[in-house]
Amino acid sequence: MEHINLVETFSEFKEFKNIDRETMMRIIEDVFRHMLIKKHGSDENFNVIVNIDKGDLEIWRNREIVDDGAVEDDNRQIAYSEAIKIEPDFEVGEEVSEEIKMKDFGRREILTIRQNLMAKIQEFEKDNIFKKYKEKIGEIITGEVYQVWKKEILVLDDEYIELTLPRSEQIPSDFYRKGDTIRAVVSKVDMRNNTPVIVLSRTSPAFLERLFEAEVPEVYDGLITIRNIVRVPGERAKLAVESYDDRIDPVGACVGMKGSRIHGIVRELRNENIDVINFTSNPSLYITRALSPAKISSISINESTKRADVYMKPDQVSLAIGKGGYNIKLASKLTGYEIDVYRDTDYDNEDVDIQEFADEIDQWIIDELKAIGCDTARSVLDLSIEELVTRTDLEEETIKEVIRILRAEFE
């Protein structure tokens, strides 16, 4: 009995590990049935038997035996004289099963079958990958760096599926070489030219949220809820957390004993500063907590414009603004209010460090004033313009502008 041997063809499919045995058999059967329909007009009277373990396939055609000269459909009927050549005991009206041999398919047909088979399996594999990762959006994936390019990194997961980490989704201080292990969250899954494109991210707030779920059991179990996350990747992040169980301190649980839980997250994010605060529905208290570590003297909120005027002592202003202005920017995003910070100068005897005016006065001018011992605003205002001109290398117009700025602070 000659079988259509597919051992060589099956060996080519070993790379498709995500296709189970039953699915593979169904795909192979579908491809051959499609060819039978194309060749004979119908596949209803054919039995297709696939044996993946042995690597072979059998096709049997069932036809009714009719009298000689009474054949109307060669595909469904066979003349009696032809039937008894297969088995002498056959009679008219019985059904005969005949195996389709390899020679019954032409060379071109065999080539077409192989091409269709490969195309079907590849299509199924791609669709399977797309569906698998579509369900994983928002989950952390661990992979191996396979290739590093200027604009993106190619990552392979444990099933050698290709994932992409664009430069825009990397933390600025990230640096990877081929073979390094990388952790990121699945950000987006698209189909481009019938090929799944899986995009990873290390800058997404979802990445930080999944890291907390992995490190803090109370977050994973739902005892602590993360209400909001804002980030400047690699620089600073703020999380608002809350717990409906009064026995649980959400901030303490997220930070851990001596920072044990949060330290691992900080390292993963390249030393990104993470502020964890208690969520509250009280806007004033929420903004106050969001501006931590700065201490607020008073706050005025306009609900209609979603703006908040915050007043604090001069030595707290730089803390509220933070390095690069990240602290106040993130506090605004976290709370949903546009925050303006003002120095609280209600006290006549209060002074302001000259460095606090760095956003209005050039640093080289501040350095010149510090060089003559003028470290505060009042120490500059106590000197005359002529004396300041004499003791520094500053021009008179520059000094007048500085004095105007400093006086405005105390008016």
Which tens digit of pLDDT belongs to each residue from 302-346? Answer: 999 999 999 988 778 888 888 888 999 999 999 999 999 887 765
How many CB atoms lie under 10 A from the CB of residue 248? 13
Q: Which SS3 state, helix, strand or coil, does residue 14 take?
A: coil
Asked if the domains 4-131 and 281-344 are classified in one and the same CATH topology, the answer is: no
- pLDDT above 90 covers a percentage of the chain that reads 46
Per-residue pLDDT of 259-274, as tens digits, reads 999 999 999 999 999 9
> Would you list the domain boundaries of the chain?
4-131, 136-201, 281-344, 354-410
CATH number for 4-131 (one of 3.40.50.300, 3.40.50.720, 3.30.1480.10, 1.10.10.10): it is 3.30.1480.10
Query: What is the rounded distance in angstroms from the CA atom of residue 213 to the CA atom of residue 217?
Result: 7
CATH number of 136-201: 2.40.50.140
Per-residue pLDDT of 160-187, as tens digits, reads 899 999 999 999 999 999 999 999 999 9
Q: What is the DSSP string of 162-187?
A: EEEEEGGGS-TT----TT-EEEEEEE
With a cut of 60, say whether residue 11 has pLDDT above it: no
Name the CATH topology of 281-344: GMP Synthetase; Chain A, domain 3 (3.30.300)
- pLDDT above 70 covers a percentage of the chain that reads 91
Q: Which SS3 state, helix, strand or coil, does residue 24 take?
A: helix
256-292 b/e (C-beta count within 10 Å ≥ 16 → b): eeeeebbeebeebbbebbbbbbebeeebbebbbbbbb
User: Range with the lowest mean pLDDT among 105-114, 241-250, 383-392?
Assistant: 105-114
Kind of pairing between the strands at 307-312 and 298-302: antiparallel
Q: Which residue has the higher pLDDT, 27 or 271?
A: 271
pTM: 0.67
Q: Tell me which H or E stretch contains 81.
A: helix 80-86
DSSP designation for 336: T
Q: Indicate if the alpha-carbon torsion angle 346, 348, 354, 358 is positive or negative.
A: positive
pLDDT for the residue numbered 119? 81
Q: Do the Cβ atoms of 105 and 73 come closer than 8 Å?
A: no
pLDDT for the residue numbered 133? 95
Per-residue pLDDT of 187-216, as tens digits, reads 999 999 889 999 999 999 999 999 999 999
pLDDT band at 222 (very low <50, low <70, confident <90, very high): very high
